[in-house]
Amino acid sequence: MTERPTLDALRCRVHKDRHREIGNWPARRLARPSAVYGTWLAVRLGLSAHQVTALAIAASLGGAGAIATGTRFGFVAGVVTLVLAFWLDHVDGQVARWRGTASLGGVYLDYLMHHVAALSLGFGLGHGLATRTADPRWSIAGFAIALGWTCLSLHNDCKYKAFFQRLKRETCRYRVVGGSGGRPAPAPRWPRVGLGILTWPAYKSCEPHVVLAALIVLAILAIFDPTAWLQLWRQGVLGMAILAPLLAIGRSMRAITRHTIETEFDRWFQPW
């Protein structure tokens, strides 16, 4: 493709099918439409999709590091950098689709970036408070958040690795009857009965785009109301240090005791 595309040409090629329907609200309404401008610049600069992903990883690490300084300026700068990382995470795929270089390696690098972001941000949030208050227990809280978020993120990765192991071992061939991820489906609603009344919003609070939205609010408070900012930062880290590991343990135990991995495999793959 040309190295000097127009915005209209990019919009016709770089978006996935139904990009306005699949995914979370910030991605559908903000990141994907605006990422076209970043794609326009990246293509003209000659950047590859992998290079853009590397920039997103660097931004994630830089944002977490800035928050870990414990200063107001560092916190605000860190959140701005994390927003940039979220945006670049949508630019890289568009660059790959424009250049026709989409590959499994690119998908792998993209998922790796998500795990790096969860680890670094979780620890940075706790360590920033430890730096500010000289209390090392906050670093332990940050480690707990990082561990919980990463385990939640790895849940599907480990599940798919188990799927692949069976697919390689079985001699018969399977046909895929579900789980392709390409069809939009109504987002699960907040259950009105059972334990889901509590666990549904708890899981939602750990999703990266929800965490980023909360950090944006905190960054605004850091500018206009430092006292409220510090108080909410402490409460948020303490609460998430308890919540994230418990959710990770609960999801793993549920997968094992209820045999949901086997059930999902049988639903996705059926022998010819």
Q: What is the pLDDT of residue 80?
A: 98
**Sign of the alpha-carbon dihedral angle for 108, 109, 113, 119:** positive
| 14 within some domain | yes
| 150 within some domain | yes
Taking residue 245's Cβ as centre, other Cβ atoms within 10 Å add up to: 19
- Supply the range of the domain harboring residue 31: 7-271
Q: Whose CA is closest to 195, among 148, 264, 240, 254?
A: 254
Ranges of the chain whose pLDDT falls below 70:
1-2, 17-21, 178-188
The per-residue DSSP string of 185-239 comes to -PPPPPPSSSTHHHHHHHHHHTSHHHHHHHHHHHHHHHHH-HHHHHHHHHHHHHH
Could you tell me which residues are beta bridge partners of residue 271?
174
Q: What is the pLDDT of residue 183?
A: 46
Q: What is the pLDDT of residue 253?
A: 94
Residue 251, domain CATH: 1.20.120.1760
Q: What is the pLDDT of residue 18?
A: 65
Q: What is the pLDDT of residue 184?
A: 44
Q: What is the pLDDT of residue 245?
A: 97
| 46 within some domain | yes
pTM (two decimals): 0.90
Per the structure, the count of domains in the chain is 1
Tell me how far apart the alpha carbons of residues 26 and 208 are, in angstroms, rounded to a whole number: 11
The phi-psi region of residue 175 (left if phi > 0; otherwise alpha if psi is between -120 and 50; otherwise beta) is beta
| 1 within some domain | no
| 2 within some domain | no
Q: What is the pLDDT of residue 78?
A: 98
Residue that has been written with the tokens 């830089």 in this structure:
62
| 39 within some domain | yes
Are the C-beta atoms of residues 156 and 111 closer than 8 Å to each other? Answer: no
Tell me how far apart the alpha carbons of residues 11 and 20 are, in angstroms, rounded to a whole number: 13
